[in-house]
Amino acid sequence: MPTLKLTDGRFFEYFDNAIASTSAIVFHHGTPGHASAWSSWLDLAATRGIRAFTYSRAGYGVSDRNEGRTVTSNNDDIRELLDSFGITDFISIGWSGGGPHALATTLMRGNKGAITLAGVGEYGAADLDFLEGMGPENHEEFGEALKGEAAISAWMEANAHPFKDVTGAEVRDSFGGLISDADKAVIKGDFADEMAVTMRKGLAVSFDGWIDDDIAFIQPWGFNLAEIAKPVQIWQGDQDLMVPHAHSYWLEKHIPGAKLNFVPGHGHISLITQYREEILGQAQELLG
């Protein structure tokens, strides 16, 4: 994938489907993740004549680390990417850990809305038990993140190396207790291979992106959800063990005018395999 040299000297990995337009969708991957997670979505957007970008957050793939980054500071990288291609208006779609980053872009110039897919809520909120209903691996991981960077870095070294070499045949089992039967049913064949490629590419250089995501998620995001004045669509299944549905109910409650698309019977991963056309249809409406 190509890279953009940012004004601070860092290199930023991205992909553009190259449709001729000054309007675009920006896709934000999950945690851990990589720009390649959205490759088929960019192709599908192209069939609708929609310009679309995906990128690897700082520290993932070959995107240089931006130590100390926050959910909101990620907007600076997005701004440089969009400006370099003359994009004047855009909407964001964020899956899982990409959800908060997509929501943060609603405060940017030119943003026309956001769509979150099983997006995580804000840690420390009085009316959200962040870890309730998550699989045991998330409890362990965030428990280490709360101890600080040294602890979560040590946890990654001890536990995350298998993801750097995971194959399509192994990826389903690698999630352990974080996926439901609904998710297990779709992680197979070409899709499993694509997930494995995304994992390997995202972690090929280091675990820095994953570490920095975890630290960003246990801190305030840097903006108040009540500030969002753009349309927001929230998608969520009830069989999600990575980001339980309480998170989406919480987002709907706190984002003015947000619309919840609740789909019983779906998990964290099955959600994004079945509803791509509907989600892209909403994105196209938001772009206008």
Tens digit of each residue's pLDDT (9 = 90 or more) over 199-226: 999 999 999 999 999 999 999 999 999 9
First to last CA, the chain: 29
198: left (phi over 0), alpha (psi -120 to 50) or beta: alpha
With tokens 């979560």, the residue in question is 152
**C-alpha 144, offset from chain centre:** 21
The answer to whether residue 281 scores a pLDDT higher than 90 is yes
Q: Which amino acid is at 184?
A: K
- Position 138 scores a pLDDT of 94
Q: E strand or H helix at 232, and its extent?
A: strand 232-237
Cα distance between residue 145 and residue 142, in whole Å: 5
- Position 98 scores a pLDDT of 98
Cα distance between residue 135 and residue 176, in whole Å: 8
In the chain, domain spans: 3-287
Tens digit of each residue's pLDDT (9 = 90 or more) over 165-181: 999 999 999 999 999 99
Total-model pTM: 0.97
For the domain covering 3-287, report its CATH number: 3.40.50.1820
